[in-house]
Amino acid sequence: MEIKKIGVVGAGTMGHGIAQVAAQIGCEVIMRDVEDSFVERGLKNIDKFLSKSVEKGKLDAKEKDAILGRIKGTTDMADFKDVDFVVEAVIENLDLKKQVFKELDEICRPEVILSSNTSSMSITEIAAATSRPDKVCGMHFFNPVPLMRLVEVIRGYYTSDETIAISTELAKKMGKVTVEVKKDSPGFIVNRIMIPHMLEAIKIVEEGIASIEDVDTAVKNGLNYPMGPFELMDLTGIDIAYFVTEYFYRELNKESKWVSPNLLKTMIRAGRLGRKTGGGWYDYSK
């Protein structure tokens, strides 16, 4: 199956990044969000990233223009009627994702694969909102999409081998390293390992054992990680860490290790969600 045109639902941090890497391999892209302002912001962020690549000599101006020319922004889901593949990248809300997939199922051709960029939620449950569960899979990219190499390709209960093969091949064309998640389980591989690290880091600060800065310094220099847990939460969104933790608690037998620390809840209530709001564990307002 040749994939020439890709639909991306969501123009936020993940959505516009996925749209960019799709356009970079020569695909036409339809990037949709609920408001024109969100679409325009996504397009501007793609332009900004590509402009920096031109400045660094990694891309020439003609290539940049060609990539941007392959991306069309829209607020109309009906524009997906002739796409060959879809990646959904809306917020981590299961009911919203199911609503989106139900609508995509009615609009897209029967043979089109519908994939979700969810970082933790059940592909099987999302697929149940469609009449094509065999053509639904997870395709979890990492932030920032143009730079991070990994894509987790996730099976739902009914996902076919063909769907996994096509989705894996597409990710590899985008220059990504792929891993297959063979069983639909909360958090898949990376988040199942990463979230406990983040929760313990928050508890260490909450208990007064060490500062945010020293926890990050310790992890970077003691474990050789490129970023500390607080820096990473600020980059990916503190709200995402919270949503995933709450989902784990509900889905994984309500084990105490998945209870959100009070400090994490306080950050959410204060609207300090990380870089995207100008402040999280660190201040980015300057």
Q: What are the domain boundaries of the chain?
A: 5-181, 191-277
For residue 197 the two structure tokens come to 């690290």
- Decide: residue 140, CB within 10 A, 0-12 exposed, 13-18 middle, 19+ buried: buried
Does the pLDDT of residue 23 top 90, yes or no?
yes
Q: Write out the CATH class of domain 5-181.
A: alpha beta
Segment 137-146 shows an average pLDDT of: 95
* CATH assignment of 191-277, among 1.10.1040.10, 1.10.10.10, 1.20.930.40, 1.20.1260.10: 1.10.1040.10
Which of 57, 66, 56 shows the shortest CA–CA distance to 20?
Answer: 66
Share of the chain above pLDDT 70, in %: 100
Cβ atoms 78, 65 nearer than 8 A: no
Share of the chain above pLDDT 90, in %: 94
In the block, tokens 């639902």 appear at: 9
pTM: 0.91
The Cα 73–Cα 47 span in angstroms is 13
When pLDDT is cut at 50, 70 and 90, the band that residue 282 belongs to is very high
pLDDT digits (tens, 9 = 90+) for 80-126: 999 999 999 999 899 999 999 999 999 999 999 999 999 999 999 99
The pLDDT score that the predictor gives to residue 285 is 86
The Cα 1–Cα 173 span in angstroms is 14
The pLDDT score that the predictor gives to residue 253 is 84
- Residues acting as catalytic residues: 119, 140, 152, 191
- Inter-CA distances, 168 with 163, 164, 216, Å: 8, 6, 34
The Cα 186–Cα 40 span in angstroms is 33
Does the pLDDT of residue 1 top 80, yes or no?
no
